[in-house]
Homo-oligomer: A and B are copies of this chain.
Amino acid sequence: MPESIVVGLDIGGTSTRAAVFSLSGERLGTGRAGGGNPTSHGAEQAAAQLRAALDAALVGVAPERARAGVIGLAGLGRLLADPAGRAAFDAAWLAAGLRCPYEIHGDALIAYASGSADPAGTVLIAGTGAIAAQVRDLTLDRISDGHGWLLGDVGSGFWLGRAAVRRALADLDCQRELAPVSVRVLTELLGSAKVEPRHRDTVDRLVQTVTRRPPLELAALAPLVVAAYADGDEAAREILTEAAGHLAGSVARIRPAGDTSPVVLGGGLLTGDTPLAGAVRTALARRWPDAPLRTAGDGAAAAAWLAARSLPEVTDPAVLHDRLLATSSI
């Protein structure tokens, strides 16, 4: 009888990734397809991307060897509330030849598991939005923020972009020299950083340009803050420090003082060597000096690990976690 395998999928708004592993930790296949977040694309399209990624990952692998699967995706609540969406996922799973059961988890748990095998810890995610969650027994427990751009998502990409525009408006109101990040904002949004002789005209154009667009587009300005910081801009440093304080504050709402469990940083603004990630690490280390700080990795591999760890023959999930996440290709 051939060795059992596990299947993991990470369905995001811009890409869907699948990974197939043996229980000894060997990566047998990897698949990639288009964005399949059912919230933004509809369950049918998400299921089609799921199928495409699965087919690619299972090339040369007998799908009937699969013993367990996990699918991670955002917008979980909406999918589970929609029987047709769940049915589309079931059909795609079967069509790929898989006969084992699968579970669906939210992207926050997948991000956590991609950074830590510890059953308890904290995950902090900052991308366009921002959310923090406590993990207990590898399920999500208490949640902080994730309240959306109007009411929260403090320290997120949206928050950073809005802070950059607000800094430009403050410079204009004060009729002081524009900070480098303000110059970048004006150049990006108005085509030049030339300030009208009547400062208020530039203010009005800037406000109108931003308010004509969907608010979430402010998140596209977050890289300007990072770039200005890299050039040594003090204003950009202040914005990033404040954002890091907000993100650490979101964690503090749900994580006890003195907690020594790991904290996993995820989302586009906190994975990789970004200045925000650095500032967040500093802020977290100040409050939880003994907590290991991890970075989220390959979501599909993490999903596969979550599937594998419940199987009886996986006697040491932590060792398997090391293997699956070490061999991952992000």
Residue ranges of A at the interface with B (Cβ–Cβ < 8 Å): 142-145, 147-148, 150-152, 162, 165-166, 169-170, 173-175, 199-200, 203, 207, 210-211, 215, 250, 253-254
CA distance in complex: A152, B166 (Å):
7
- Chain B residues with Cβ below 8 Å from A151 are 162, 165-166, 169, 207, 210-211
Bound Cα distance from A145 to B250, whole angstroms: 28
In the complex, what's the smallest C-beta–C-beta distance from A179 to chain B, in angstroms?
15
**A51 vs chain B, min Cβ distance (A):** 30
In angstroms, Cα B281 to Cα A228, docked, is: 38
Compute how far the CA of A165 lies from the CA of B148 in the bound complex, rounded to whole angstroms.
13
Residue from the list B142, B170, B211 in contact with A253, Cβ < 8 A: B170
Determine the chain B residues whose CB is within 8 A of the CB of A152 once the complex forms: 166, 169
List the number of copies, as a whole number.
2
CB pair A174 B211 closer than 8 Å: no
B211 touches A148 (CB 8 A): yes
Asked whether A253 and B174 contact (CB < 8 A) given A152-B166, A152-B169, A166-B152, the answer is yes
Contact A203 B142 (CB under 8 A): no
Contact check, A144 vs B166: say whether CB atoms are below 8 A apart. no
**A250–chain B nearest beta-carbon distance, Å:** 8
Of A145, A147, A207, most buried by chain B (CB within 10 Å of CB) is A147
Smallest beta-carbon distance A76→chain B, Å:
12
CB-defined contacts of A170 to chain B, threshold 8 Å = 253
Measured CB to CB, the closest approach of chain B to A105, in angstroms, equals: 16
A173–B207 touching, CB < 8 Å: no
For A165, the chain B residues whose CB sits under 8 A away are 151
Name the residue on B nearest A175 (C-beta). B142
Q: Which residues of B contact A174 (CB under 8 A)?
A: 253-254
Residues of B within 8 A of A147 (CB): 166, 169, 203, 207
A150 touches B215 (CB 8 A): yes
Docked-complex contact B200 and A143, CB < 8 angstroms: yes
Please indicate the chain B residues that have their CB under 8 angstroms from the CB of A254 in the complex. Answer: 173-174
Minimum distance in angstroms from A107 CB to a CB of chain B: 16
| Bound Cα distance A142, B173 (Å) | 8
